Structure 1
C-alpha cells in the first residue's frame, strides 16, 4: 500500500489541469420524502388492484375448485400486469424518481419487480388454464388451444409472452455475461413489445378491466402514464434538448493505453445542469451503432461550457471513442445518478475509486465544497501506470488541502477484497481504518467494478459507517 505524502512529493511540470477553473455547481439536495412517497405509491397501486379484484367478485368465486383456480389466476394476472407497468415506469428515467433513487437502485428494483411479474404471469397462465379445464371435457391441452385460438386478443398475448420470455432469459446473469451489451440492449427492448401486446387481451376479455368504470379508468390511466413517461422522458425530452441546444465533440485525448477522454461543447452544456459525479447516456452520431446509448460519467467538474467523459476500452462502444472526430454531433440523455454532492450528509468525505471508476471521484474532488482535511481520495489500481488522472488528482488535492492515497497491486487471490495481494495480511476493514482513521465520521462515495465496490462497502460497514452514508453507482446491465 502506498500513501502519497503531499508535503514531500512534487507534481511534474505542466500537470495541473485546466479543468480546475470549474464553476461552483448549484447543489441539488434531494428531499428524502420523495423516496418514501414513491414506495407508498407503488404499494397503493397493488392494493387498489387487489381491491378491484375483491369488489368484482374475486372472493365469491373461490367456492369451487374451478372457480378458485380461475379467480386466483385472474388475481395473479392483474398483479403481474401492474408490476410489468411499474417495471416499465421505473426505467422511464422520470427525473423525480431518478433523483430520489438513482439509476443503480432503480435498475436493481426493476430487475426484482421484473422477475416477480414474470413468475406471476406464468402462475396466471397455469391457473387460468387449469380452472377452465376443470369445467370442460377437452382436458388441459384442448383448453389451452381453445384459449389461444378462440379468445379475443389471445394470439397477441401469446406473442407478448414469448417476447417477455426472451427478455427474462437473457436477463439471467449467466446469459447476460455471454452477450455483448449492444445485443442485450436490443433484446431488452422487446419488453415494451410484450407489455403492448398484452393490452388488447386485457381490454377485450379481462373481467376486472370491464367490470366497472373505476376499473376501466384505473387500468387505462396506468397504461397511459407509463406510455407517456417512456415516450416523454426517454424520447421527446432528450430529442428536444438535442435539437434546441446541439452538442459536438471538441477534443479527443488518449489518457493512457486503452483509456480515452472526449470533450464536448455547445449551448446545451449549461442547460443540462450536470453535477460532478453524475453520468449521462451518450450517443455519438459518427456512423453505424449511433442509436445505442452508453452511460459515461463526467470526469471533470462541469464549467458551464464543456463536459469531459473518460472511458476504458472494454467493448465496441467504448473503443469507438478513440476514433471520434472533432465536430461529431452528440445526443445525450440525463444527467442521472446520485453520486453527487446533493446526497452528502457529512462535512468529511472519503472518495474511493478503482480503475476507470476514479473518474467521477476526480470530478467530485474538484467540485465539493471543502476545507483542508475534509476530503480523502483513495485511488485503487493494478499498477502505477494504470493510475488514470493521478497527476490531475494530485494537483487538485494539493490545491484544496485534500489527502490523496494510492493503493496499487494485483488483487488478493481467492478473496473478494478491495485490497492488493501485498495487504492480504490485513482485513478489509483494518486496512481502511489504517488509511483513514476517522472513516466512521465520513460520507463514502464509491465507484469501480461491482465486486470491488461491494468489498469496499462491506469494509466501510465493518468500520462503523452507516449505510445511509455510503453512496455508489453500479453500471451493470
Structure 2
C-alpha cells in the first residue's frame, strides 16, 4: 500500500524545489541586468534614450527566459507540469510584447528630441541601419504572435494554424540576438557583460536545441514508433495504437501526454498534444482524439505502419502527485482520456470515485472500458448527463459533496473543457480542499 505522508513530502518538495529554482533564476538575472544598467558603457544621450535602454535590456532577458520555457526542460515539466509552465510562457510572451512596443518608442523619442526632429521621421532613418531593421522585423513578428494569442482571435484559427504562426518565435529570437550583438551598447559594456549575455544565450539556445530537437530525435531513433491499429470509438472519436522498440525506456506514466506527428501523412509542423488514454505497459501506447482540427480529423485515415514522431512524455498529471490515499477522478468530454489512463494505473491505490460529465450517454467515450475498470477496481463511476442548470449542477460545492461526501480527504484530478475545469477548481477551493490535493490538466500549449 502507498502511504500518504511520504508521498506528500516527496511530491511537495519536488514541486517546491522546481518553483524555487525558477524564481531564483528570474530574480538573480534581473538583479544582474539592474547592475549592468547602473554601470552603462556610455551615458545615454538623454532620459528618453536611457528609458528605452532599460526596456531593451529587460526585453533581451525576457526573450532568453521565453526560450527556456519553450525548451520543455524535463526537470521543470515533471515537477510543475506543462500547463502551469505554459501560463509562465503566456505571461512572458505578453511582457515581451509590451517591451517591444516601449523599447523602440522611447529610443526614437529620445533621438527625435536630440535632433529636434519629429518622431515619425526617425522610423525610416533608423530602418536604414541593418541591425535596427532586424529589430524592427522582430518587433513586427512579435506583434503578429501576440495578436493571434488573444482569445477572441485564437478561436478563429485551427490549432494547426495557430501553432504554425507561433513557430515565428524562433525567427524572432535569431533576429533579436543579432540586433543585440551588433546594436546593443549594453552588450559591449565590458568583458563581464559580454560573458553574461553570451552565457545566457548559449544556455537558453542549448536547452532549446537539446529539449526540442536532440532528445526527441534520439528517442525516436531508439524506439522507432509505428501505428499498430486505428480504432473508431465514436463517429468523431478515434484511438490510435502505437508500438515500437523498448517502450519501457520512455518511462511514460498514465496521465501524461506526447506531442504527436505523423510524417508522410501530415506536414512536419502539424503537431498535436494528445494524452495517453491507456496506462502505458512498456509494449504499446494509445492516444484517443476527437475530430476538432484537420490533424485530429485525419487520424481515422492513418494507415497501419505509418511512422510516428513523438515528443515527450510531458506533464505532472500523474499518480506521483498524490498526497492522499483515496482519489476522485473528474473528466468532461474528451478530457476523459488521461483520466481513463489514471484509472487503470495500478499505483493509484485506495478508494476511487470517477465523475464523468457529458451531454448525453452517447457522448461518453470509452464508457465500456470505464465500467470494466470500475468493476475490477471496486470503484464508483458516475456518468453525469444533461444540460447544466439550476437543477443540474454536479460540480457546484453542494453537488460535489453530494457525490463525494469525503472529498476534502481525497486527491482530486480534473481534466476537461476550460470552463468546466475552472468551475471544479473554484468549488474545490470553496470546499477548502487543500491546494496540494487539487490537480488539473489544461492543454495551453506553447509553441
The TM-score, its normalising length taken from structure 1, stands at 0.87
Q: Which residue does the alignment assign to 2:168?
A: 190
Residues 378, 406 of structure 1: 8 Å contact kept: yes
Return the offset for 1:308: 0.9
- Residue 220 (structure 1) aligned with residue 198 (structure 2): yes
Alignment of 1:231-250 (within 5 A): 231-250=209-228
Please point out which of 365, 369, 392 is paired with 1:423: 392
Please point out which of 381, 387, 392 is paired with 2:358: 381
Q: Which residue does the alignment assign to 1:418?
A: none
Return the offset for 1:288: 3.6
Return the offset for 1:56: 1.9
Q: Which residue does the alignment assign to 1:206?
A: 184
For structure 2, the residue ranges without an aligned partner over 5 or more in a row are: 1-7
Q: Which residue does the alignment assign to 2:76?
A: 97
Q: Which residue does the alignment assign to 2:401?
A: 433
- Residue 75 (structure 1) aligned with residue 44 (structure 2): no
Q: Which residue does the alignment assign to 2:428?
A: 460
Matched residues in 2 for 1:218 and 1:433: separation? 54
SS in 1 for 2:192: helix
Q: Which residue does the alignment assign to 2:443?
A: 475
Count of residue correspondences: 436
SS in 2 for 1:153: helix
Return the offset for 1:292: 1.4
Bigger mean CA deviation after superposition, 299-308 or 265-274? 265-274
Return the offset for 1:401: 2.1
SS in 2 for 1:222: helix
- Residue 309 (structure 1) aligned with residue 287 (structure 2): yes
Matched residues in 2 for 1:422 and 1:254: separation? 34
- Residue 129 (structure 1) aligned with residue 98 (structure 2): no
Please point out which of 357, 381, 389 is paired with 1:404: 381
Matched residues in 1 for 2:439 and 2:185: separation? 45
Residues 298, 308 of structure 1: 8 Å contact kept: yes
Matched residues in 2 for 1:100 and 1:42: separation? 18
The TM-score, its normalising length taken from structure 2, stands at 0.93
Larger Rg: 1
Alignment of 1:122-201 (within 5 A): 122-150=101-129, 152-201=130-179
SS in 2 for 1:329: coil
Residues 370, 400 of structure 1: 8 Å contact kept: no
Return the offset for 1:422: 4.3
Q: Which residue does the alignment assign to 1:37?
A: 21
Q: 1:71 to 1:57 in 2, by over 3 A?
A: farther
Report the aligned-residue RMSD.
Answer: 2.0
Give deviations 1:429-453, integer Å, cap 9, x for gaps.
Answer: 1000000000111111010111110
Q: 1:266 to 1:464 in 2, by over 3 A?
A: same
Return the offset for 1:171: 1.0
Q: Which residue does the alignment assign to 2:4?
A: none
Residues 241, 268 of structure 1: 8 Å contact kept: no
Return the offset for 1:461: 1.1
Q: Which residue does the alignment assign to 1:395?
A: 372
Residues 286, 324 of structure 1: 8 Å contact kept: no
SS in 2 for 1:468: helix
- Residue 320 (structure 1) aligned with residue 303 (structure 2): no
Q: Which residue does the alignment assign to 2:3?
A: none
Matched residues in 1 for 2:185 and 2:245: separation? 53
- Residue 229 (structure 1) aligned with residue 207 (structure 2): yes
Matched residues in 2 for 1:310 and 1:67: separation? 60
Matched residues in 1 for 2:190 and 2:424: separation? 53
Please point out which of 114, 122, 140 is paired with 2:93: 114
Q: 1:347 to 1:473 in 2, by over 3 A?
A: same
Return the offset for 1:470: 0.9
SS in 2 for 1:299: coil
